[in-house]
């Protein structure tokens, strides 16, 4: 991932991100940890950037370390509105984390429940789950 792109996403700089997208930034490029811009924006709680990247066609279900997606990273970091926006856009609610005990086998809804955010957990529960 280009450092200028990475820094703009981390800062939540909507204007810079828009300009970079207009100039062909690799929307789904990964940083050294395997995270995309959407994952970084979700983890940092930059709702406007999440929205912009979704609208620009960012891949919703890329996973990185521990099998975490942008949706799961938003939940883990406590950014419920980012999580809701990602889920509403069609992010896969059935993805499950891997590896680390706190993530292994858990969906975004499970991660929300484990953090005491019952309403979000219910809202994120995959259809057909009980």
Per-residue pLDDT of the chain (130 residues; tens, 9 = 90+): 889 999 999 999 999 999 999 999 999 999 999 999 999 999 999 999 999 999 999 999 999 989 999 999 999 999 999 999 999 999 999 999 998 888 999 999 999 999 999 999 999 998 755 4
pLDDT confidence of residue 101? 83
Per CATH, the number for 3-124 is 1.25.40.20
Q: What is the pTM of this model?
A: 0.94
Q: Which residues, listed in sequence order, are joined to residue 97 by a DSSP beta bridge?
A: 104
**Domain spans in the chain, listed from the N-terminal domain onward:** 3-124
pLDDT confidence of residue 130? 47
């Amino acid at each position: 991932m280009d450092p200028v792109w990475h820094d703009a996403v981390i800062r939540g700089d909507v204007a810079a991100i828009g300009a970079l997208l207009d100039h062909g930034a690799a929307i789904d490029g990964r940083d050294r940890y395997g995270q995309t811009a959407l994952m970084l924006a979700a983890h940092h709680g930059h709702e406007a950037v999440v929205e912009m990247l979704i609208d620009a066609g960012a891949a919703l279900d890329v996973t990185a370390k521990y099998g975490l997606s942008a949706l799961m990273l938003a939940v883990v970091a406590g950014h419920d509105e980012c999580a809701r926006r990602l889920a509403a856009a069609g992010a896969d609610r059935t993805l499950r984390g891997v590896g680390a005990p706190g993530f292994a086998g858990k969906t975004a809804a499970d991660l929300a429940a484990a953090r005491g955010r019952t309403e979000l957990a219910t809202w994120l529960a995959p259809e057909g789950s009980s």
